[in-house]
């Protein structure tokens, strides 16, 4: 066996691992930027400029754009740039409709069957965190608490089917929520409504919990569509 070839072989495997890790890192960071609305729909970006800003390898970044184009998040162009794909009002409305139905049902079931003290503590805590973040105008913290609230309200139902269905719709809803946070008014009314829903669940008022939550979702969907159209984020402007 020629041991002189071993260092090169080991080096090759290390470089391959590092390259894979770099690609995975770029993919995660770019997807996060789009999902958190740091890169807005219908916005254009140069690969080299954005890769430099994020301090990542440009070749790995190109690989990430290829993957996200396949997933429908962006559209690449030959000049070394890409457009972040638009959000369709119809798709947003449909996703909001589905999630609103699921969560309203979950709120009804939770109020009807009295969630565990742990489940109710999670809901109470999420609302308090949203109120605190709103007071401090910390939108990122509000978004985290809001995501926790929506996950908790479905889990409080104890209904596996509702939990699984809501999880599948979490990605498009998250992107729309973050866009509304970046471009819309402070979510004061939404936060108040979440508190009303939780109080209704505490009191076992199943119909109230369902109806308040459903109305809140419908209002959010209307605001989201208005926001998309007002900022021309629903169609190509290039």
Domains, the chain, with CATH or none? 3-84 (1.10.10.10), 89-230 (1.20.120.530)
Contact 101, 213 (CB under 8 A): no
Q: Is 187 exposed, middle or buried (0-12, 13-18, 19+ CB in 10 A)?
A: buried
| pLDDT value of residue 189 | 93
Please state at what angle helix 188-202 crosses helix 206-230, rounded to 10 degrees. Answer: 160
| pLDDT value of residue 12 | 45
pTM for the whole thing? 0.78
| pLDDT value of residue 160 | 87
| pLDDT value of residue 19 | 76
| pLDDT value of residue 95 | 85
Pairing status of strand 74-77 against strand 44-46: unpaired
Average pLDDT of each block of 10 consecutive residues along the chain (238 residues)? Answer: 49 59 90 92 92 90 94 91 88 86 93 87 96 94 94 89 83 84 90 96 96 92 84 60
Contact 126, 148 (CB under 8 A): yes
């Amino acid at each position: 066996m020629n041991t002189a070839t071993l260092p090169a072989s080991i080096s090759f495997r290390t470089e391959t691992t590092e390259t894979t890790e770099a690609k995975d890192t770029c993919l995660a960071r770019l997807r996060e930027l789009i999902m958190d609305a740091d890169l807005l729909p219908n916005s254009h970006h140069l690969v080299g400029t954005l890769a430099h800003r994020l301090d990542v390898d440009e070749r790995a970044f190109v690989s990430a754009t290829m993957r996200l184009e396949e997933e429908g998040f962006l559209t690449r162009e030959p000049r070394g740039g890409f457009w972040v794909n638009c959000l369709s009002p119809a798709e947003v409305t449909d996703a909001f409709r589905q999630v609103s139905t699921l969560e309203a049902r979950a709120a009804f079931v939770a109020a009807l069957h009295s969630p565990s003290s742990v489940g109710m503590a999670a809901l109470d805590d999420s609302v308090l965190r949203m109120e605190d973040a709103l007071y401090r105008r910390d939108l990122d913290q509000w978004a985290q608490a809001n995501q926790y609230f929506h996950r908790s309200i479905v889990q409080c139902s104890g209904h596996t089917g509702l939990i699984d269905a809501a999880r599948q719709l979490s990605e498009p809803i998250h992107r729309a929520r973050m866009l509304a946070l970046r471009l819309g008014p402070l979510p004061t009314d939404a936060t108040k409504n979440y508190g009303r829903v939780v109080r209704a669940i505490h009191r076992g008022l199943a119909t109230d919990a369902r109806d308040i939550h459903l109305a809140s979702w419908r209002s959010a969907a209307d605001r989201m569509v208005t926001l998309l159209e007002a900022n021309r984020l629903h169609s190509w402007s290039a």
